[in-house]
Amino acid sequence: MNGKIYGYIRVSTKDQNEDRQIIALQEFSPPIHKTYIDKVSGKDFQRPEYQKMLRILKPGDLLVVKSIDRLGRNYKDILEQWRILTKQKNVHIVVLDIPLLDTRRENDLIGTLISDIVLQLLSYVAETERDNIRQRQAEGIAAAKARGVKFGRPRKPVPQEFPAVKHLWTSGKINSREAARRLSVAQDTFLRWAHNEATTPTQT
């Protein structure tokens, strides 16, 4: 193989650690020329580093990833990108966790068929796992809400001065902006308090 070797790494968030992927790619032989790292979701391929790498890849180059879900998590998109890389750009791909997914070894029809079957199966598994994670998160949130857990920022308590300030506002002596300033809150917050008849000031 005469082309250059590139690595691609992806983690879903900036807080996740990419060290395992980096170590795996560093152990690949021959050495990788350049590695691109994205810290975004794998729901699609509109990722800055991936797109930059895609523009640089030339026929005969090799792309190395640790696992198929690092490439992406959408079943159809993974298959489409695999086709673009291997058929349109004539780039080889190696998935380190799955030795069968090494397009350098597709020297015959059987090898190509096995590789295609494994790719489709793993792409499906990657997307299914993504859907399962989303479902588990939704179920966890629903269960937490059922237990009375509150999500989002807590609402600001209504201060003791609110009734007096509201009276000045309703009598037309001050406007809502001035009322909000006196209570050190946003104008929207004051108006929400003012129009919520059930709201009572916090007692100390």
pLDDT tier at 152 (50, 70, 90 boundaries)?
Answer: low
Q: What are phi and psi of 96, to 5 degrees?
A: -60, -40
Using DSSP's 3-state secondary structure scheme, residue 197 falls into coil
pTM: 0.58
> Is 12 considered catalytic here?
yes
CB atoms under 10 Å from CB of 74, counted, come to 18
Amino acid found at 167:
H
Of 12, 41, 123, 171, which is the active-site residue? 12
The answer to whether the CB of 22 falls within 8 A of the CB of 67 is no
Q: How far apart, in whole angstroms, are the C-alpha atoms of residue 26 and residue 23?
A: 5
- pLDDT tens profile 35-56: 999 998 888 889 999 999 999 9
Q: What is the largest CA-CA distance in the chain?
A: 87
